[in-house]
Amino acid sequence: MTRRPVHRVAIVGTGTIGASWATHYLVRGFDVTATDPASTAEAALRSYVDAAWDTAASIGLVPGASPERLTFTTDLAQAVGDADFVQENAPERPELKVKLFAQLDDASPPDTILASSSSGITMSQIQAECRRPERTVIGHPFNPPHVIPLVEVVGGTRTSAETIRDTMSFYEEIGKKPVLLKKELPGHVANRIQAALYREVVHLIQEGVLDVADSDDVVSWGPGLRWGVMGPNLLWHLGGGAGGIEHFMDTLMPRMAASWQELGTPEFTPELKETIVAGVQREADGRSIDELAAWRDTMLSALLAVRAQDGPSGPPPAAGERKTETS
């Protein structure tokens, strides 16, 4: 089956994630129709797009892209009636998602892909009442979508292989880094990985090993810098020295595996909550959420620009495969 060409994207739900998705699609040259029932949604959405535009444009502006190609309606059926791709971003409530996707299924063209940004609910749950569940899929971004390339893609039990294939291709075409999950599981993958890290961070804070600001520094000035370049498996390949990953697995991995038993399972008490809140407020040092977010996105866009010099798929090619540069 030939994939439906995408010219118009519908954004369903325009909170933080939906507004960020809308910005990304606009910067990539699509017509975007957004819908949300909240009375203040349109004003908040347009304000978000205006504020995020320069950062998003620095990463991937295409000719003809404009915030003027954004339209808004509170009518759900109208928003998706002529959509070529739907990106849903409603609150994380299973019963709401099930009802909403049944409505999207009825109101949208039958060959339009319906993608959910759900961070924790599986598509098998969400598609339960759809008449055409084969075209429904999870397309879970990492926040904020107009900056972070990652999108986790996973279907439900009734999602077709063609939908998975076409969704992966579409996200890649619009500058995302789609990763296909081979199995459904609550929370998908990226959130589970960061939850595992944060559990140990919270444990160390609770045990008095270090304070909140220092725990952030340990991550962002240590492993976080390396993770911005390559993932843990490839990093351990380097950690193995001349013997690479095989040497690491033979000599260092057994010690690391043994240490897993020592990792903490903190008890989230009111006292721990207050410790973290107070520590974060000191670390923020009076800077607003918007100011911190803008600084984060500026730094991330600079990192992405550096990474783009070597291509989007990882480290540069081997020496014999490098392209020659002309002066």
* Within-domain flag for 215: yes
Percent of the chain with pLDDT over 90: 91
Q: Are strands 8-12 and 136-141 parallel, antiparallel or unpaired?
A: unpaired
CA dist 306 and 317 (Å) reads 16
The CATH number covering residue 217 comes to 1.10.1040.10
Q: Which residue has the tokens 């060409």?
A: 5
Query: Is 3 in contact with 169 (CB distance < 8 Å)?
Result: yes
Query: Is the confidence at residue 79, as pLDDT, over 70?
Result: yes
* Within-domain flag for 327: no
The model's pLDDT over 104-163, given as tens digits with 9 standing for 90+, comes to 999 999 999 999 999 999 999 999 999 999 999 999 999 999 999 999 999 999 999 999
* Positive or negative torsion for Cα 41, 47, 51, 57: positive
310: which DSSP letter? T
Secondary element (H or E) of residue 87: strand 85-88
The pLDDT assigned to 3 comes to: 73
**Number of domains forming the structure of the chain:** 2
Cα distance from N-terminal residue to C-terminal residue, the chain:
45
Based on the fold, state whether residues 235 and 270 are members of the same structural domain. Answer: yes
Based on the fold, state whether residues 113 and 194 are members of the same structural domain. Answer: no
Query: Is 233 in contact with 245 (CB distance < 8 Å)?
Result: yes
Query: Is 17 in contact with 117 (CB distance < 8 Å)?
Result: yes
Based on the fold, state whether residues 70 and 176 are members of the same structural domain. Answer: yes
Structural domain boundaries, residue 262: 190-311
Residue 179: beta bridge partners? Answer: 152
CA dist 61 and 132 (Å) reads 34
Q: Are strands 136-141 and 150-155 parallel, antiparallel or unpaired?
A: antiparallel
Query: Is the confidence at residue 13, as pLDDT, over 90?
Result: yes
* Positive or negative torsion for Cα 225, 314, 20, 96: negative
At residue 94, what are phi and psi to the nearest 5 degrees? -55, -45
Give the global pTM: 0.91
| Number of neighbours of residue 64 by Cβ within 10 angstroms | 8
Q: Please give the structure tokens belonging to residue 271.
A: 């006292």
Based on the fold, state whether residues 221 and 167 are members of the same structural domain. Answer: no
Query: Is the confidence at residue 323, as pLDDT, over 90?
Result: no
* Closest listed residue to residue 118, CA positions, set 100, 93, 95: 93
The model's pLDDT over 273-298, given as tens digits with 9 standing for 90+, comes to 999 999 999 999 999 999 999 999 99
Based on the fold, state whether residues 238 and 157 are members of the same structural domain. Answer: no
Based on the fold, state whether residues 75 and 219 are members of the same structural domain. Answer: no
Based on the fold, state whether residues 157 and 250 are members of the same structural domain. Answer: no
